Amino acid sequence: MALPKVLSRSEDTRKQRTQLIKKTQEGLKVGPNQRSAETTPVVRYRGVKKSFGEVEVLKGIDLDIMPGEKVAVIGPSGSGKTTLARLLMTLERPSGGIIEVEGEPLYHKRVGEGLVPADERHIARVRSKIGMVFQHFNLFPHRTVLQNVTEAPIHVKKMPRRLAEEKARAMLEKVGLIEHIDKYPGQLSGGQKQRVAIARALVMEPKIMLFDEPTSALDPELVGEVLAVIKEIAEKGDMAMMLITHEMQFAREVADRVLFTDGGKIVEQGTPEEIFEHPKSERLQAFLARFRNGFGGGSQ
Amino acid sequence: MTSLETLISLLPTLMKGLVVTLEVFLLGSVVAAVLAFIAGLMRLSKFRIVRFLAAFYVEFFRGTSLLIQLFWIFYVLPFFGLDLSALTAGVLALGLNYGAYGSEVVRSAILSVPRGQTEAAIALNMSPVLRFRRIILPQAWPLMIPPFGNLFIELLKGTSLVSLITLSDLTFQAMSLRTTVSKLEIPIFALLLIIYFVIAYAVTLVMRALEKKATVGRA
Ligand SMILES: Nc1ncnc2c1ncn2[C@@H]1O[C@H](COP(=O)(O)OP(=O)(O)O)[C@@H](O)[C@H]1O
Ligand SMILES: [Mg+2]
């Protein structure tokens, strides 16, 4: 692998993107073209809370993710990273606050000045802009690799089968699985499964893709191939990404911005350099120290 | 010599009974399977009242005997203005009874499909109907087949009770032949045994074929 070259390229593209995002974020504050497509965040959390029974696991999240932005989320196990992503994917309902996707509320509909709870149709329409890759892949075991990838284009997007298969093949080529398209998930390694899952999500062309610890369930020797694929997508695509990960080096290389969550809050955020080189909060310092000492783990 | 001829002369009567048995069995199985799916899905509904209705049906028909259900449907319902033919009553009772057991099969098979499958389908923006039809059911279905096979065989054995509501099924015909023709108990009952066994074995083979088809290619 020509690692240094890849690295330097990613460094460049990331800097460009970071500048662009900074500009758009400034544009957001300036005002006149506040509503223009360029400055609308792809995802916005406003005061988002989530409780399971008595336990509040997200305690008011405010977060804007700009189009194309790659946001890494790090934090101890149980700090609410997964819940943050699952709320956006509509796998859990927030207990409070608003989530917007491209300026449109996900769980609410605008009626005049106010908001009312949205129906399933509205949610489905907004959800089409979001994709997710799971820790445990969740491939469909009764479908071949190709069918896993064409399932949603054909049946959700009503794409003609030929076109869907063409796209799926291109996507599977991209993740290096073109020789395996007729196999069933049970015949693949963990790394291959996760790459199929990535292709399956990508083919739906979401505006933002959520990765929830995509390599935590993999044998160590298979982590690299999956991270390489994600990195490649991050560098080439204009799709925003939320990368929940314990792979610090990876977060550093890929992310425009890193969030550190702890106790259901975003405790600190900044560029990879700010987060990893100059952590401000004690909790982040302690968290990173634990990683450096090799007690990183934890895959919940 | 003569006894073989007599036995052969009895065959048409037994065959008439066999036709009735098969009729009750096949129709009863269809009704049972349909009810099993309806009640099994109702038990997974998000609406409490729907779940309750299904649970009530299941507990009621599991908790009372098939024989009493037959009597009620055939002899008691007419007093409430519902006059069913013996065949309809028999099919209905068997269907209701085994449908109740079958609903548990459907329910637990669906529940055993991992939650992650539904979540992946939601993440691909599949509608609830699509999720069920294309993701959940194809994975739950192979799990249902073997227990359904057992239920169908139980149902087959249960068909012999329909003679108690005036249907002349295989068992009934054999019993009546025994009283009209002497000295042929052993061959008649041997025949009875073989015929039931052959039907049950055919059910097993069909279910095996279905199972094989349902799991094709899966590793
Ligand atoms: N479905 C659930 N029911 C109850 N508690 C939950 C559920 N999901 C998550 N939690 C709890 O919420 C907290 C945050 O979980 P999670 O978002 O998975 O954290 P992370 O991904 O950072 O490890 C944990 O304490 C976890 O036990
Ligand atoms: Mg998690």
| Apex B157 CA angle, B30 and B154, nearest 5 | 60
CB half-sphere exposure, A75, CA atoms < 13 A: 25
Tokens representing B7? 């036995």
Residue A155 to residue B122, Cβ atoms within 8 A: no
DSSP state of A92: S
Stated pTM of the model: 0.85
Domain boundaries, chain B: 3-215
Residue B139 to residue A139, Cβ atoms within 8 A: no
**β-strands A208-212, A96-101 pairing:** unpaired
Identify whether the C-beta of residue A157 lies closer than 8 Å to the C-beta of residue A168: no
Closest alpha carbon within chain B to A128 = B125
Residue B124 to residue A201, Cβ atoms within 8 A: yes
pLDDT of residue B131: 96
Q: Which residues of B are less than 8 Å from A204 in CB distance?
A: 124-125
Q: Is A297 in the pocket of ligand 1 (CB under 6 A)?
A: no
> Reduced to 3 states, what is the DSSP secondary structure of residue A150?
helix
CA nearest ligand 1 atom 8, residue: A83
pLDDT of residue A290: 87
- Round to whole Å and give the CA distance between A148 and A173: 14
3-state secondary structure chain B: CHHHHHHHHHHHHHHHHHHHHHHHHHHHHHHHHHHHHHHHHHCCCCCHHHHHHHHHHHHHHHHCCHHHHHHHHHHHHHHHCCCCCHHHHHHHHHHHHHHHHHHHHHHHHHHCCCHHHHHHHHHCCCCHHHHHHHHHHHHHHHHHHHHHHHHHHHHHHHHHHHHHHCCCCHHHHHHHHHHHCCCCHHHHHHHHHHHHHHHHHHHHHHHHHHHHHHCCCCC
pLDDT of residue A38: 55
- Please report the atom of ligand 1 found closest to the CA of residue A77: 23
Find the ligand nearest to A84 CA. 1
Find the ligand nearest to A262 CA. 1
Residue B218 to residue A184, Cβ atoms within 8 A: yes
Which residue in the set B119, B126, B138 is minimally distant from A142, CB to CB? B138
**β-strands A43-52, A257-262 pairing:** unpaired
- Please report the atom of ligand 1 found closest to the CA of residue A298: 23
Q: How many CB atoms lie within 10 A of CB B51?
A: 14
Q: How far is CA A179 from CA A183, A195, A222, A266, B62, in A?
A: 9, 13, 18, 42, 52
- Please report the atom of ligand 1 found closest to the CA of residue A53: 4
Residue A134 to residue B120, Cβ atoms within 8 A: yes
Q: Which of A193, A46, A65 is nearest to A129 (CA)?
A: A65
C-alpha distance from A12 to closest chain B C-alpha (Å): 32
pLDDT of residue A153: 97
pLDDT of residue B121: 97
Helix axes A220-236, A3-30, angle to 10 degrees: 50
Q: Which of A259, A234, A225 is nearest to A245 (CA)?
A: A259
| Apex B147 CA angle, B151 and B158, nearest 5 | 10
From first to last of its 300 residues, chain A has per-residue pLDDT tens of: 334 444 444 555 566 655 655 555 544 444 444 445 457 999 999 999 999 999 999 999 999 999 999 999 999 999 999 999 999 999 999 999 999 999 999 999 888 888 889 899 999 999 999 999 999 999 999 999 999 999 999 999 999 999 999 999 999 999 999 999 999 999 999 999 999 999 999 999 999 999 999 999 999 999 999 999 999 999 988 899 999 999 999 999 999 999 999 999 999 999 999 999 999 999 999 999 988 776 544 444
Which residue in the set B116, B125, B130 is minimally distant from A134, CB to CB? B116
**β-strands A240-244, A43-52 pairing:** unpaired
Whether the per-residue pLDDT at B218 is higher than 70: the answer is no
DSSP string over A15-82: HHHHHHHHHHHHHHHH-TTTTSTTTS-SEEEEEEEEEETTEEEEEEEEEEE-TT-EEEEE--TTSSHH
**Counting Cβ atoms within 10 Å, is residue B140 exposed (0-12), middle (13-18) or buried (19+)?**
buried
Q: Which of B165, B171, B145, B41 is nearest to B91 (CA)?
A: B165
Closest alpha carbon within chain A to B214 = A142
Q: How far does the centroid of ligand 1 lie from the alpha carbon of residue B60, in Å?
A: 40
C-alpha distance from B55 to closest chain A C-alpha (Å): 27
Q: How far is CA A298 from CA A23, A74, A78, A221, in A?
A: 36, 12, 9, 18
Summarised one tens digit per residue, pLDDT across range B38-87 is 999 999 999 999 999 999 999 999 999 999 999 999 999 989 988 999 99
Whether the per-residue pLDDT at B187 is higher than 70: the answer is yes
Tokens representing B171? 């068992």
Residue A151 to residue B123, Cβ atoms within 8 A: no
- Please report the atom of ligand 1 found closest to the CA of residue A212: 21
Summarised one tens digit per residue, pLDDT across range B110-126 is 999 999 999 999 999 99
Query: What pLDDT band is residue B3 in, cutting at 50, 70 and 90?
Result: confident
- CATH code of the region B3-215: 1.10.3720.10
Tokens representing A249? 């080096």
Query: What pLDDT band is residue B11 in, cutting at 50, 70 and 90?
Result: confident
Tokens representing A49? 């809370």
| Number of inter-chain CB pairs under 8 A, A vs B | 62
> Reduced to 3 states, what is the DSSP secondary structure of residue A181?
coil
Instruction: Compute φ and ψ for A154, nearest 5 degrees.
Output: -70, -45
pLDDT of residue A17: 59
Q: How far is CA A251 from CA A221, A257, B73, in A?
A: 18, 9, 69
Q: By percentage, how much of chain B surpasses pLDDT 70? A: 98
Q: Is A145 in the pocket of ligand 1 (CB under 6 A)?
A: no
Residue corresponding to tokens 């995002």: A21
> Reduced to 3 states, what is the DSSP secondary structure of residue A177?
coil
Which run of H or of E encompasses A138?
none
